[in-house]
Amino acid sequence: MSENLEKYLTSVAEAVGQSTLVKMTLSKPVQKHDDLRNVYVKPVLIKDRRLFAFTYHYERRDEVKNYDAEQMLEVLREMLPQRFLNAVLFTVNEDVTLLVSSKGKATIQTKKVQECREQNLEHDKQKNRLINPANPWWYQLGLTTREGKITADMQHKFKQICKYAEIVESLVKPMRFDGTVHIADMGAGKGYLTFALHELLTQKLHFEVDIKGVEIRPDLVLKINEIIQADGLKGLEFVESSIEAYHPAQLDVLIALHACNTATDDAIASGIKAGAQLIVCAPCCHKQIRQEMERSGLVDAITRYGIFLERQAVMITDTIRALILEYYGYKTQVMEFIEMEHTPKNVLLVGKKSDKPVDRDSILQQISQLKKQYGIKIHYLETVLKVGE
Ligand SMILES: C[S@@+](CC[C@H](N)C(=O)[O-])C[C@H]1O[C@@H](n2cnc3c(N)ncnc32)[C@H](O)[C@@H]1O
């Protein structure tokens, strides 16, 4: 081992011994084919034992391992520089960076910090998460072990669920509802996001809710309702129905996440007709408009490339959806959602009912202009709602 590397590990050992280590990061992985991207180290106090939590950030999951001081130094010795070429040690008063060149030359840079930092020994598990994986439904839905630990292959899904809860919290918190909040989650699927919604609204925001998960597959509806009953969850029920056929009498919030093709339009139409205050949808597979564009035979500099035609179809479908929401008085935002697997289904259309006057003629003109430009005869949502008639 080079002299500088040894010197660096001595600095780490001193920071550990003097309890001045705030955190450490290991980056610049040596093996490009390995999907371990970086490692984050922080001291934690678990059952009065001072340990070091190593969070291994893989491309699509995180893994946390706790080590005592001796093991921690051993692990660092194994990883530097064999696995990582860069490391930064953050102590209460300085940052010590290790840089190893591709030829193996190690250099150390030390930078004093102006403000004295403090150690935070709080264990990550104590973080006030919006979604608690220890709730029994997460095990029953297949996301966690019986002990409430998120399984390795569900880490990404759980991140998506938490991100979704964060977005919904920010949307719903400032809103005022009169009594029970009526919500329909159209195309609810396996129920992950529906349970997250229920957990967020009832356990964190303390709302009274009536959430219906609308799903066409009877096996899923049966299974999910059994879980709901087993856990005694109030205000949550799955309904076996197509989105088209489901017409709620009362609706405050309409959710439709990844409902295929025009099912998203049926859901939006249902929300608009029921006068929902909030409409949130993550559209999925924009076949209807793509086929219209292909049929028209019109090609421009963008759409002559297959992939761009696909992407343009997505943009046009969702732009017209956003315009139609605006037409019906919804202040509409297009937001980024957390990415789904490797598909581009990461857009969230959010419409909030507003009292502000709307220039409907101008909106109709914009829709008409877009349709003309891309040779689109029909946008399904426009037809269902008979927009402008
Ligand atoms: C891709 S999954 C999305 C599930 C969930 N919303 C999510 O984002 O994780 C779409 C679900 O919608 C259901 N679905 C598709 N078309 C539907 C329709 N017309 N009516 C009711 N459910 C539908 C499918 O059976 C499927 O379970």
pLDDT along the chain (389 residues), means of 10: 89 92 92 81 85 86 87 94 93 92 91 70 62 93 90 88 92 92 97 97 94 98 97 96 95 95 96 97 90 91 90 95 98 80 71 96 97 95 94
| CB-based contact 265:380 (threshold 8 Å) | yes
- Predicted pLDDT at 113: 79
Which residue has tokens 């099912």?
A: 263
| CA of residue 377 to ligand 1 center, whole Å | 27
Q: What is the DSSP string of 106-121?
A: EEEEEEE-SSPP----
For position 31, what pLDDT does the model report? Answer: 77
Residue 244 CB burial class (10 angstroms; 0-12, 13-18, ≥19): middle
pLDDT of residue 118: 63
Q: Does 188 sit in the ligand 1 pocket, CB within 6 Å?
A: yes
Residue 91 CA to ligand 1 center (angstroms) comes to 49
The ligand 1 atom at the shortest distance from the C-alpha of residue 266 is 19
Distance 280 CA to ligand 1 centre (A): 15
Tell me which residue of 58, 108, 111 sits closest to 80, measured CA to CA.
Answer: 108
Tell me whether the omega of the peptide bond preceding residue 81 falls within 30 degrees of 0, making it cis: yes
| Ligand 1 contact, 24 CB (< 6 A) | no
Rounded to an integer, what distance in angstroms lies between the CA atom of residue 73 and that of residue 333?
Answer: 49
Give CA–CA dist 211/197, Å, rounded. 9
- How far apart CA 155 and CA 152 sit, in angstroms, is 6
Q: Name the phi and psi angles at 176, rounded to 5.
A: -110, 125
* 256 C-beta closer than 6 A to ligand 1: no
Residue 342 has a pLDDT of 45
For 119, list phi and psi in degrees, rounded to 5: -75, 140
164 lines ligand 1 (CB under 6 A): no
Contacts for 94 with CB less than 8 Å, ≥ 6 apart: 110, 111, 112, 113
Helix then strand count (H, E) for the chain reads: 11, 14
24-60 in b/e form (b: 16+ CB < 10 A) is bbbeebeeeeeebeebbbbbbeeeeeebbbbeebeee
Distance 270 CA to ligand 1 centre (A): 15
Residue 34: the pLDDT is 74
Contacts of the segment 15-18: beta carbons below 8 A, 24+ positions apart? 15/89, 15/91, 16/52, 16/69, 16/72, 16/73, 17/69
- For ligand 1, whether the C-beta of 278 sits within 6 Å is no
Q: What is the CA radius of gyration of the chain?
A: 26
> What is the pTM for the complete model shown?
0.72
DSSP 319-371: HHHHHHHHHTTEEEEEEE-PPBTTBS--EEEEEEE--S---HHHHHHHHHHHH
Q: How far is the CA of 258 from the centre of ligand 1 (A)?
A: 7
Which one, of 269, 251, 259, lies nearest residue 215 by Cα?
Answer: 259
Distance 190 CA to ligand 1 centre (A): 9
* Residue whose CA is at the smallest distance from ligand 1 atom 20: 242
Distance 44 CA to ligand 1 centre (A): 42
> Of 260, 285, 347, which is best to mutate to test ligand 1, by the most ligand atoms within 8 angstroms of its C-beta?
260
Is the CB of 253 inside a 6 Å radius of any atom of ligand 1?
Answer: no
Residue count (the chain): 389
224 lines ligand 1 (CB under 6 A): no
Task: Catalogue all structural domains in the chain, each as residue range(s) with its CATH number.
Answer: 3-126 (no CATH), 136-385 (3.40.50.150)
User: Do residues 201 and 181 make contact, with C-beta atoms less than 8 angstroms apart?
Assistant: yes
DSSP string, 25-36: EEEEES-TTS-E
The answer, yes or no, to whether any atom of ligand 1 lies below 6 A from the CB of 187, is yes
Q: For tokens 């793509």, name the residue.
A: 290
For residue 236, the CA-to-ligand 1 centroid distance in Å is 17
